[in-house]
Amino acid sequence: MVTVELAIQTMTDVAQSIELAQWAESQGLAAFAVADHYLRTEEDFRALDQMTVLAAVAARTESIQLATLVSPITFRHPAVLLKAGVTIDEISGGRFTLGLGAGWMEKEHDVFGFDFPPTRERLDRLEEALGYITAARDGNEQGFHGRWYHLAPGPAPQPRGERMRLAVGGSGPARTPELAGTYADEFNVFPSRHPMEARIAAARRAAVDAVRDPDTILFSTAFPLMVGEDRADLDRRVEEVAAARGVEPERIRERWPQSGIPVATRDQYLEELSRLEEIGISRVYIQVAFDSPDEVRRLVGLLVN
């Protein structure tokens, strides 16, 4: 029996986001997350600001957890992320997790004029932003003084006892797990050529080094929903998603499983979820950015019913 939590991650307009989040809530799914991008694809400019979308979702839902997975540090100053995050957390009654990452889509930075430093600098900025946001979130007597970000001493922005959760997400083998173990309430271990087991173990070691209990960290992952009721349904699904993404179907069939993304019929997919649970993943965010609400309900229904 699969007991890993299922959640949804999408990136769409306000009305459809509210519809999907309310449906996910009614089905007992664990969370509703948004992919924080300023382009839908490298050729599609029609993305809304997803943190603003999530604020609308927060006001129209009651119990489902909410998250950004993940917000690139390159888009917004940490103070803006903090203020937006604690505002969504207040609207939702404490259901929001602010997910942070180093950013990866260079095209959206070029299009909108954001700086896109080399990977090492982006990770340095992410580490500094996590320190800044943690200091501000928890209240600080010393302030925060880094290379890029500076914060004067001051009280926490939320009432005593409230504490917006933080997530760190990424695909790297060393630095991202270290930051997650040091700062995060959740580590979104994105599929890559680097084994998830090793990255989870690295984050747990970092938590111990930071005098934190590693068992308090939620380990999650996220990947596109590539499941079918049977082989014919799966083949149709692969063809449709490949067309939407502008790639060859064989790329999905061959490359996705190599990086840990299931491409499977229902029974095989459930086996993959069980395998993820065995290595320490507690929650899977199913990415459905290119799907209609009806198709999301049908396919997710294969896994929860």
Render pLDDT for 210-235 as a digit per residue (tens, 0 to 9). 999 999 999 999 999 999 999 999 99
C-alpha to C-alpha distances, 249 to 237, 243, 254, 256, nearest whole angstrom: 10, 8, 9, 11
Gap between the Cα atoms of 111 and 46, Å rounded: 13
Q: Quickly tell me which residue has 């271990």 as its tokens.
A: 189
DSSP H helical segments within the chain, as ranges?
14-26, 50-59, 78-92, 106-112, 119-138, 175-183, 196-209, 231-245, 249-258, 266-278, 293-304
pLDDT < 70 stretches in the chain: 1-2
Tell me the residue range of the domain where 201 lies.
Answer: 5-304
DSSP state of 54: H
Read off the CATH number of the domain in which 195 is found: 3.20.20.30
State residue 1's pLDDT score: 57
C-alpha to C-alpha distances, 12 to 33, 49, 121, 199, nearest whole angstrom: 11, 10, 30, 30
The tally of domains found in the chain comes to: 1
Gap between the Cα atoms of 41 and 278, Å rounded: 33
Gap between the Cα atoms of 102 and 71, Å rounded: 8
Cis previous bond, 70, omega within 30: yes
State residue 44's pLDDT score: 76
Q: What is the DSSP string of 86-122?
A: HHHHHHHTS-EEEEEE----HHHHHHHT-----HHHH
State residue 291's pLDDT score: 86
Gap between the Cα atoms of 262 and 267, Å rounded: 11
Gap between the Cα atoms of 291 and 244, Å rounded: 9
Q: Which two tokens stand for residue 48?
A: 């809304």
